[in-house]
Each structure stands twice: as C-alpha cells, then as structure tokens.
A and B are shown apart, each in its own frame.
Chain A
C-alpha cells in the first residue's frame, strides 16, 4: 500500500437497489504494473472497471473507496472526475464501432482528447494525433484521420480507441475486453500493440477479460472474479500454474490446449458442473459452493481474501506439492 500505487480499490460494492453485482472487491495496482481481472460474463468485471472510472449507468450506486492519484474517486464530483478521465486514467472499451462517435471523424476524436487535457492548439494536437496513429501502426495517417469510424476495419477502430486512451500518457489504462469483438487474427496484433505502447509509457494496465491466454501474455498479476467477488489473486505464473481456488482450477482445466485435446476427436473438454447463480439468487457465503466438490458446511460463511501478494478466498484451498513459493 505504498504511495506509488496507481489504483487502490477497497471493499467496492456496486449495486442497483437490492441487487449487488460487485460484492466487496479489493485490490491494488502498482505503478507500471499490469493486472488482469478474469472471470465469466456476469461476474462483475466490467462493472468494477466502470465503477473505478465513475461511468456506471444510471441507477447504480457504489460504496467502498477507490484511491487514485491520492484521492478517493468515489467522493469526487463528476466534474472533478472528468478532468482525470482521459488524462491520468483512461479506458478502452470492447466494441469500437459503437464506442466511437459515428458522426465525427476519427482524427477529431483523438485531437479532442489532447486539447481537452493539455490546452494544445489545433495544429499541435493534430501533429500529436498523427504521431499516435503512426505508433499504432495505422497506414496513411493523414488521410485516415479524416475517416469516419464506419469506414475503418475493426482492428483499425480499436487502435484509434487505444490511441485516444494513451494520448495524454495516463498512469492507468483500463482495457475492458479490448479484443473480444475482433477477428482472431487481428487480436494478436492489437494486443501486441497495446503491450508495447503501455510499456513505452510506463503506464499501469488493468486488463479485463474472460480470455485466460490474454492475461498470461500481458499481465503480471491476476485477480479471478466469481459471483461479484475476487476469489483468488496473485502473480500470473503462480496462479495459472498452481491455482489454489477450486474455481480457478476448473477454469484453467476447461481451457482447450494441445495437451487436453486429442487430435482424433476422442477427448471431451472438462467443464465445471452447474451454472453461475443469478444475481438475485446468490448463495450465502462462498458463491462457488454449490458447484464445488470440496465444499463443506463452513463454506456457508464467507471466507476472507487475505490481503497481500498472493491470496485465496477459500476455506479449503488446493495445496500443491511445492506450494508457498511466491515471488
């Protein structure tokens, strides 16, 4: 919990009326660090990200605190937040076609961000935007600038979004499923690009996805979310190689790899039995309990996620032979 941390989330609860979608989430992202939040759809990942940015849709409330740049963002006015958004913290959204303004040329959308936060002149901003677009490996930036979003390909659109997010050298970039809407071949390009750009700027990255390999490739630490809570967190290598929560293990096992798929088609992909309970019907205590083979009565009370570098919220975490070797 040093002052070098870019983001510090404490007991974040996101709710709408009596419905709690995020039920007490805490994590820290250090400067330049890359953290991934992984989980199935509906686990609350996106809402967490939106809550951090202060962009929740109407009707949603938060409690808890989000520290960034020395202040608790949840106590700030929208006006104050708007000065940080795009400048010290920025976000890349999932579907660039609907996320970009369809009636404005893409160049203008980038220069707007620059001018908003730096007071640069139109000419200066344009030069910076061209520079950004070149960094994003976008072809013929001068003419591409004048295009409208619907005239570009999915990959190009996402690069524009990333350019907008990076323009002011933010300390934290949140990427919410940035490649899910793209073709598989394009995904890798965009991810590599994001990787390079983030390192180059020394920004911290909060990557939200349901795609485990993406986390493995890009992130240092990972937090696994289930049922609105973080069930396990730690360095990526440790968590993915020696998962301690049963859900994490189930998730990893269900990933198709060359090892668990026989080429003659004889194998069956393991899956976690049962279904994610609806938000209105969450079990008491550990949300994973109904689907967990190792659950006992004590699991009806919520296990704590012990704070610190590597932790798991489970009464019966999996023990590995060479366990305890955390970095």
Chain B
C-alpha cells in the first residue's frame, strides 16, 4: 500500500509548497518583513492540470453508466488480442477477446467506488475522532492519538489481507480496509488543523459567550477546516485507487464479473511476452488518474494556502 503524501508526517503538519507557478500580474502581492513574498489566491498550473485529468476521469466513469462500447466480460475467441486502433475496439481486445475499452471504463467505476468510498468513510470517522481529539481534555486526546499511532503501525495491506481472509474478498472489504487505513491519518491532520482554529481569538470569544463545545466545533471549526478536509479527501482518494488496484492485482480485491484496473494488469501479466500493450493501458490509466487527483489536491492546497500554511 502506498501513502504517497508528505503531509502524513508524524506531526500532522501540512505541506505548503507544490509545483511552482508565478502569480498573475494583477494579483495582490504582500512582502513581509523579511522580504518573503506571499502570493494570494490564484489559479495555478497544478490545479488546472489536476482538474482536467480528474474531471476527464469522472466523466469517463459517468459515461460508462449509460454506454459501453461492448460487453467487457463477453469473450470472443475469434477476436483475441486485437491491437490498439482496431475497428470497433479502440484499445483492442484481451486474451479472451473481451473489449479493453469497456474494461477500462468499468475499471474507472470500480476505482471511484472503492477509492472515494474508502476516502469518504475515512474522512467521516477521521473527522469525528480528530475533532474529538482536538477538543477534549488531555486524557481523551492522548488516548485517541496513541490509538491512531498504533493503527498506523499496522501496514494497511496486512489489514486488507486479514480482512479478506476473514470476511472474504471484494470491493466492500477493500473499502473497509481503506477506511481503517485512512482514519488514523485523517485524525492526525484534522486534529492539527482543528487545534489551529481553536487557538484563534474568535473561538475564545465564542467560549466566553457561553457557546457549548459542540456548537463551536460545528459552527466555527468545521467551516474553517473545510479546505483541509477537501484537500485530504482528494489526496486519499488517489491513495485509495492505488490500493484498490494493488489488492485486485493480488487477487484479494474485486474479481470478475467486476473489473478493476489492477485485475486487468494481473491478467495481462499472464500474457507476458505475448501482448505487452495489455500491461500498459490499465497502468497508464492508474497513473493518469492518480496524478490528476494529486495535482488537484496540491493545487487546491495552494489556493487555500493562507489558511493552511504554518503561519509564516
């Protein structure tokens, strides 16, 4: 399993730099005392590229709900291993004659279902525990964070394997495994972000007014950490896709008639030497989508930077 993002560091701090871009000429620029220039909100290359790739991916999956060029599970032995660009089969066919394009589209759906599903559940539970850790007394807060530390010591793949053995393999199991994997990381990040907001003066003011803790959390903290939530969700969505692909490759994820890009790669590997292209398409699809989501997440983070940065 991969946890590709730098902000899953122990302190829960958030990275504040990404692919560089110059501010637009008309944008307000602030020069602080030490001569460092702070750029305000602006569109950046990362955001745009990420948005294009991600939206393209989502559209592909959406289209697959209504239209598929062919049945992805229907073998047609006569039409085996057709190359890229064959009539009727844009990406060719696999070793059993099944249309690759349709499989790719269906695989996109699986990736969204599992990846976003796991990230979303992780977000929900992680927010609850993260906020609880931020707003509670020392003991509860310490317990939650230690618990998160322990969970982080268990490699995600191991959890997934164990779950697959006990509950059985499949998309839902992967989602559960992902949730377990994401919750501690989310908890960390959200707790850090929430603490920053809780230290703000307006929260102290609210407390002095007599607002209850829950109210403060819901009305003051949550809206202010929304940016963090969105960025983290995007990045973990990407992780979820990678994990789902990996598990399907190993055989403990989804299996036919469901399709996953990882599954396609596993099948393609058995055709080693005979048809290399089959091993390329699903992999490239994964790379493009994960790249798109990561770029999007980084781009969003830069836009929301004033709120997320470590307060330089």
Contact = CB atoms under 8 A, between A and B. Distances in A.
Interface string A298-310: 0000000000000
B31 A19 contact: yes
A77 B35 CA distance: 21
A57 B34 CA distance: 8
B29 A21 contact: no
Contacts of B36: 57
Contact of B35 (A41, A47, A278, A280): A47
Interface residues of A, number: 15
B33 interface: yes
B133 to A, nearest CB: 26
Contact of B29 (A42, A46, A60, A279): A279
Interface string A15-56: 010010100000000000000000001100011001000001
A59 interface: yes
Interface residues of B, number: 8
Contacts of A60: 35
A41 B29 contact: no
Contacts of A47: 35
A46 B31 contact: no
A90 B33 CA distance: 19
B65 interface: no
Contacts of A57: 34-36
B33 A42 contact: yes
Nearest to A18: B25
A9 to B, nearest CB: 17
B139 interface: no
B37 A16 contact: yes
A16 B36 CA distance: 10
B100 to A, nearest CB: 48
Interface in B45-59: none
Contacts of A16: 31, 35, 37
B29 A56 contact: no
B31 A50 contact: no
A59 B33 contact: no
Nearest to B26: A280
A30 B35 CA distance: 27
A60 B28 CA distance: 18
Nearest to A60: B35
A280 B34 contact: no
A27 B31 CA distance: 24
Interface string A272-286: 000000111000000
Contacts of B28: 278, 280
Interface in A225-281: 278-280
B35 A279 contact: no
Contact of B33 (A19, A41, A279, A280): A41
Contacts of A50: 35
A59 B37 contact: yes
Interface in B8-47: 28-29, 31, 33-37
A77 B120 CA distance: 54
B34 A46 contact: yes
A50 B35 CA distance: 9
Contacts of B34: 46, 57
B29 A19 contact: yes
A280 B29 contact: yes
Contacts of A278: 28
A280 B35 CA distance: 14
From A41, A42, A46, A280, name the one whose CB has the most chain B CB atoms within 10 angstroms.
Answer: A280
Nearest to B29: A280
A80 B247 CA distance: 57
Nearest to A55: B35
A19 B32 CA distance: 13
Nearest to B37: A16
Nearest to A94: B33
11 contacts: A16-B35, A46-B33, A47-B35, A50-B35, A57-B34, A57-B35, A278-B28, A279-B29, A279-B31, A280-B28, A280-B29
Closest 7 CB pairs of A and B: A57-B35, A47-B35, A279-B31, A57-B36, A46-B33, A21-B31, A60-B35
Given A19-B37, A56-B35, 13 more contacts: A16-B31, A16-B35, A16-B37, A19-B29, A19-B31, A41-B33, A46-B33, A57-B34, A278-B28, A279-B29, A279-B31, A280-B28, A280-B29
